Amino acid sequence: MHPAPSVILFTTLSGLGFGYLVFLATGAVALSGWAAFFAWGLGYGLAVAGLMASTFHLGNPQRALKAFTQWRSSWLSREAWTSCAALFALAPMALSDWLDLGLPRPIGWAGAVLALATVGCTAMIYTQLKTVPRWNHWTTPASFFAFALAGGAVLAGQGWLASGLCLSLGLALVLQFRLGDHQFAARGETMGSATGLGGIGPVRVFEQPHTGPNYLMREMIHVVGRRHARKLRLIALLCAALVPAVLCALLPPMVAAVTAGALHLTGALAARWLFFAEAEHVVGLYYGMR
Amino acid sequence: MTCLPGKTAKSLGLVIDLDTCVGCQACVTACKGWNDRGAELLPDENPYGPEPSGVFLNRVHSYEVTPPDGPAWIVNFPRSCLHCEDAPCVTVCPTGASLKRAEDGIVLVNEDACIGCGLCAWACPYGAREMDEARGVMKKCTLCVDRIYDESLPPEDRQPACVRTCPTGARHFGDLADPDSAVSRLVAEREGYALMPGMGTKPVNRYLPPRRKGPGAAPVLAPLEGKATGLAGWLDRMLGKL
């Protein structure tokens, strides 16, 4: 699939933002006054920047409000609702931390649940697609949740907890890479089943239906990004998970939050690029391409 | 509404005969002509440049299939929206722009509500949807909904442009929910099949497989006995005597 920068930024930044907001909301970091203001500002900033980025790839962003209407069937619509609900629900807690209003913590927990639900909805937008077997698997939500929680814990300076969550993210990534490689074949769709001609004998493309690439090929058959898949997997694993795990365990919280946080974001962007670039759509079968 | 209507009163769709399709691309051109109408509703980018690209609702592929007992066959394969019963392109749509009509099962895009997110194109296994990048809205086969119910057209024209134009009669249009319709009988007779049933989309359109060719098929006709006349006949006789 085409790794559009807007979608990579959307999923990465909003995931990190909502993950960080979970730690702020549950009171894992005890902040008050201006420190709380900047911490909550960073959480809100990341989440909102991600959501804004998602509108950049829309053909008609001025109609984006219509995306709230189809929550009964559409994960994208549900994501719109949960993200707004989470941002609204967390506002009292943010104000309370900043202005020392002393609101009870359970208000924050409710917001944290909504923030995690948003991450889940984002993951389901991709997981629901049977047409992309690599995504249509439990490892997709597992890695989205692992990214949000590990990234949130790193930014929140959670020390050993952050290290542990980074290591679980590493495990989720390894599983996603290793299991993902077999999912297209496991789905069992071939040029034979795509055309229904497989029962006669082996099928081969004789002539393409058009001489130049079209929307389908640009969008669903993206080969450039896969060329360096092995290197990118290693970069993602080291930068997003393993090195931050070490840094969070060894460095003081504030230093770890900055260094490990920056490194984690780099790794997360690499992983998310690969998430799109490596994903193969079954429509490629009609073109004899992946 | 992007919830699916469940059982539709009719299931209008196409039956495509892979045995008779010659790959002439007339359906592609007719589709583009009817749905574009010179107003660039199916826009082309850089149509006369070195890298032309454009929106089409129907594409004709060509495959080579090799049966175990004979030489390869060329199979021309038109690909367009299958108007699925369980259309994933409809349920993923966040705005309600993508819809399946309860009355006839046609899957349509309401362009006034489409935000151009492209998720429906990702959800479709068959590549039936292409983005109009000039307008930022998704395009797809409408089954020529603006022809088939238009009573100002003569009855023979009240069918999709691709079906109307096909010179070999490889495309058929009708109600596949009615077991007695001509298209349903054709599907039953020729063992028509659905594409990628494993995707769970329950397509309405059916494809009729190519008939057997080569050994095992109808015997090849014997060549006609050549009987030369006139000058050639005289030459034939004289040379035969030498």
Predicted confidence (pLDDT) per residue in A153-208, tens digit? 999 999 999 999 999 999 999 999 999 999 999 999 999 999 999 999 999 999 99
What would the CATH number be for the domain defined by A5-56+66-192+211-287?
Answer: 1.20.1630.10
- Is the Cβ of B16 closer than 8 Å to some Cβ of chain A? no
Residue A250's H or E segment, with its range, is helix A243-250
Phi-psi region of B189 (alpha: psi -120 to 50; beta: other; left: phi over 0): alpha
Helices (H), A26-105: 33-55, 75-99
The confidence score (pLDDT) of residue A226 equals: 77
- Is the Cβ of B202 closer than 8 Å to some Cβ of chain A? no
Confidence bin at B219 (pLDDT 50/70/90): low
To the nearest whole Å, the CA of A62 is away from the closest chain B CA by 8
Confidence bin at A147 (pLDDT 50/70/90): very high
> For chain A, first and last CA: distance in Å?
9
User: Looking at B135-240, which runs of residues are DSSP E strands?
Assistant: 137-139, 171-175, 206-208
The confidence score (pLDDT) of residue B94 equals: 95
Residue A143 CA to residue A135 CA, distance in Å, equals 11
Of A201, A219, A282, the CB nearest to B65: A201
- Is the Cβ of B67 closer than 8 Å to some Cβ of chain A? yes
- Is the Cβ of B186 closer than 8 Å to some Cβ of chain A? no
- Is the Cβ of B235 closer than 8 Å to some Cβ of chain A? no
Chain A residues touching residue B198 (CB < 8 angstroms)? 187-189, 193
Confidence bin at B216 (pLDDT 50/70/90): low
The confidence score (pLDDT) of residue A148 equals: 97
What does the domain layout of chain A look like in residue ranges?
A: 5-56+66-192+211-287
Average pLDDT over residues B90-100: 95
Of B2, B56, B125, the CB nearest to A282: B125
Rg (CA), chain B: 23
Neighbours of B207 (CB within 10 A): 26
Judged by average pLDDT, the poorest of A9-13, B216-220, B229-233 is B216-220
Query: Complex ipTM, two decimals?
Result: 0.93
> For chain B, first and last CA: distance in Å?
87
Chain B residues touching residue A66 (CB < 8 angstroms)? 94-97, 113, 115
Residue B130 CA to residue A281 CA, distance in Å, equals 15
Distance of CA A153 to the CA centre of its chain: 16
CA angle B179, B182, B185 (to 5 degrees): 55
Average pLDDT over residues A57-84: 94
**Do B68 and A80 count as a contact with CB atoms less than 8 A apart?**
no
How do strand B12-17 and strand B44-45 relate by DSSP bridges?
Answer: unpaired
The confidence score (pLDDT) of residue A102 equals: 85
Query: What Cα–Cα distance (Å) separates residue B168 from each residue in A282, B47, B96, B165?
Result: 30, 29, 38, 9
**Contact yes or no for B99/A255 (Cβ under 8 A):** no
Chain B residues touching residue A202 (CB < 8 angstroms)? 65-66
**Do B67 and A212 count as a contact with CB atoms less than 8 A apart?**
no
Average pLDDT over residues B187-193: 96
Q: SS3 helix, strand, coil % of chain A, rounded to 5?
A: 70, 0, 25
User: Looking at A151-236, which runs of residues are DSSP E strands?
Assistant: 203-207
Burial class (CB in 10 A: 0-12, 13-18, 19+), B88: buried
- Is the Cβ of B70 closer than 8 Å to some Cβ of chain A? no
Average pLDDT over residues A249-253: 91
Query: What Cα–Cα distance (Å) separates residue A288 from each residue in A206, A208, B77, B122?
Result: 10, 9, 14, 18
Residue A123 CA to residue A145 CA, distance in Å, equals 8
Neighbours of B215 (CB within 10 A): 11
Helices (H), chain B: 26-36, 88-91, 119-123, 145-148, 161-165, 182-190, 230-241
Task: Name, in order, each residue with C-beta under 8 angstroms of A233's C-beta and a sequence gap of 6 or more.
Answer: A173, A177, A274
How do strand B206-208 and strand B12-17 relate by DSSP bridges?
Answer: parallel
Does the pLDDT at position B223 exceed 90?
no
**Do B88 and A194 count as a contact with CB atoms less than 8 A apart?**
no
**Do A70 and B62 count as a contact with CB atoms less than 8 A apart?**
no
Place of tokens 């060894």: A250
**Do A283 and B125 count as a contact with CB atoms less than 8 A apart?**
yes
Q: SS3 helix, strand, coil % of chain B, rounded to 5?
A: 25, 20, 55
* Torsion angles phi and psi, residue B75, rounded to 5: -120, 120
Does the pLDDT at position B1 exceed 80?
no
Average pLDDT over residues A17-41: 92
* CA nearest neighbour of A240 among A143, A172, A147: A147
Chain B residues touching residue A185 (CB < 8 angstroms)? none
Does the pLDDT at position A119 exceed 90?
yes
Confidence bin at B12 (pLDDT 50/70/90): very high
The confidence score (pLDDT) of residue A158 equals: 92
Of B90, B119, B133, the CB nearest to A76: B119
Average pLDDT over residues A85-90: 96
Q: Domain B12-220 belongs to what architecture?
A: 2-Layer Sandwich (3.30)
To the nearest whole Å, the CA of A212 is away from the closest chain B CA by 6
Tell which of B17, B74, B95 to mutate to test the A interface (max A CBs under 10 Å): B95
Average pLDDT over residues A228-256: 93
Of A60, A72, A206, the CB nearest to B114: A60
Neighbours of A242 (CB within 10 A): 18
Judged by average pLDDT, the poorest of A21-30, A61-70, A129-138, A221-230 is A221-230
Chain B residues touching residue A204 (CB < 8 angstroms)? 63-66
Tell which of B59, B117, B120 to mutate to test the A interface (max A CBs under 10 Å): B117
Neighbours of A134 (CB within 10 A): 24
The confidence score (pLDDT) of residue B79 equals: 97
Structure tokens at A189: 């769709």
